Amino acid sequence: MQHLTVHDLISENNRLRALLQQQAEAQRKVEQAVGIERLLIRTLTDNMPELIYAKDAQSRFLFGNMAVADIMGASSPAALIGKSDYDFYAKELADQYFTDEQALLRSGDSLIGHEEPVADAHTGEQRTLLTTKVPLRDHDGVVIGIVGIGRDITDRKLVEAELLNSNSLLIELNKKLSHAQEQLVQSEKMASIGQLAAGVAHEINNPIGYVCSNISALDGYMVKILNILAVHLDAQQFITAPDVVERLNRLRIENDINYVITDCGDLMRETREGISRVRQIVQDLKDFSHADTNLDFHWADLHRGIDSTLNIISNELKYKADVVKEYGDIPPVECIGSQINQVIMNLAVNAAHAIGAERGVITLRTGLDKVHGDKVWIEVADTGCGIAPENVKRIFEPFYTTKPIGQGTGLGLALSYGIVQRHRGQIEVTSVVGQGTVFRVTLPLKHTPVDLQEILPRS
């Protein structure tokens, strides 16, 4: 065994002291670096708007930045350590946080971009956080807690809600503008029809006038001729010349004078009826279009308008159904008569199309609203195939039709709906598949101008 001298012991002690001093200096530098890193992390996290925190396996805070302390009402981030959400929030909200975090701890999965409700401890205001939570693992990979970061997106959600609301208002405004455009197009169309009807009526009325005059004159002439012929036939018995008698008898038989005399009256009567029919059609065209009213609201006899409309479309209806009129006692209505006529036309034609191979019945009814004495109603009912329930709610949509391709544009009911809306009325439908459909149009007796505020969305 080697004996150490006092000098050797002193040297070894000095070496060990120097080594300890080096280690202490190194430890001090490490601690200083760690302190700086902690200070840096604390400074960074406390000055970030996001909520940054860490919790242990029992959901108790291990770390939290100023944003977390502020929203939870803690005096400082240090006041969070060792506490849980139950120390700051109502039990119901704390239970929700605890349940979500414990599920994350058990699964080891991450929760990315999850929206969480949170109550501001200072104002009590409900806020929304976009939260991400990930497992906190030790060196062996065992989950020992969670790390979370949340961003307050309340203001963004409010902006999004305002944008959605503005978008909804714009969509609604666009729909109203579309309806207004449809009504303008319809007004232009009806104006064109009115001008056409006026031109046709003018052109037809002139020849009808002199045809009627000629028929009246011809009728008078025929009466005179038939009177003379009757006297001649009576005088024939006094003719004694055999050849003349034979010739008259032969002409009488060959020309069937007795039939001619009888048929002349029928021909003249039918001719007068035909001319009256043409005149009525021309008048109905004028009544239907109201070309002379310039599409202004005026007091109209709805029954007269319905009759004119049915006369115009009689060829469309007479082969499909019997038309029944059940008119009530209603006063004149302030409306655009030509447009109401078109609504009746669309409903009646649709009713005819709904009737199958067997002849049906189309019933038109009118009446005064007994609940609201300032309104009248018109019904068009048919015994057709009816409308399926899933289609009833869509029948007033533009371009929607249940008819085969090429047999309908889907605009008739949409335009009718727009016309009734412009008149501040209502159009309703009830239908039973296999039994028929009833359309009811309700109109106010007196027109009130449309307010621009009803077209623009409310703020």
pLDDT value of position 399: 53
What is the Cα–Cα distance from 67 to 51, expressed in whole angstroms? 5
Q: Which of 412, 410, 408, 359 is nearest to 382 (CA)?
A: 359
Cα Rg of the chain (Å, integer): 48
73: Cβ contacts below 8 Å, ≥ 6 apart: 88, 121, 122
Q: What pLDDT sits at residue 224?
A: 81
Q: Report phi then psi at 440, rounded to 5.
A: -120, 125
For residue 438, the model assigns a pLDDT of 93
Q: Torsion angle, CA of 107/112/114/119, rounded to 10 degrees? A: 90
Extended strands (E) in 20-142: 51-56, 61-64, 111-119, 126-137
| pLDDT of amino acid 407 | 47
What share of the chain in percent tops pLDDT 90?
Answer: 20
Closest CA to 78 of 86, 66, 87: 66
Q: Does 454 score more than 60 pLDDT?
A: no
Quick one: pLDDT band at residue 255, thresholds 50, 70, 90?
Answer: confident
First-to-final CA distance of the chain: 102
Q: Is residue 289 over pLDDT 70?
A: no
Determine which of 23-27, 218-222, 284-288 has the lowest per-residue pLDDT on average: 284-288
Place of tokens 């623009």: 456
pLDDT of residue 406: 42
In terms of Cβ atoms closer than 10 Å to its own Cβ (0-12, 13-18, 19+), residue 452 is exposed
* Average pLDDT of the chain, as a whole number: 81
User: Tens digits of per-residue pLDDT, 92-138?
Assistant: 889 999 998 999 999 989 888 888 888 887 777 888 899 999 999 98
- Is the pLDDT assigned to residue 13 strictly greater than 60? yes
Q: Give the integer Cα–Cα distance in Å for 286 and 284.
A: 5
Tokens for 416? Answer: 């009718």
More confident residue, 431 or 255: 431
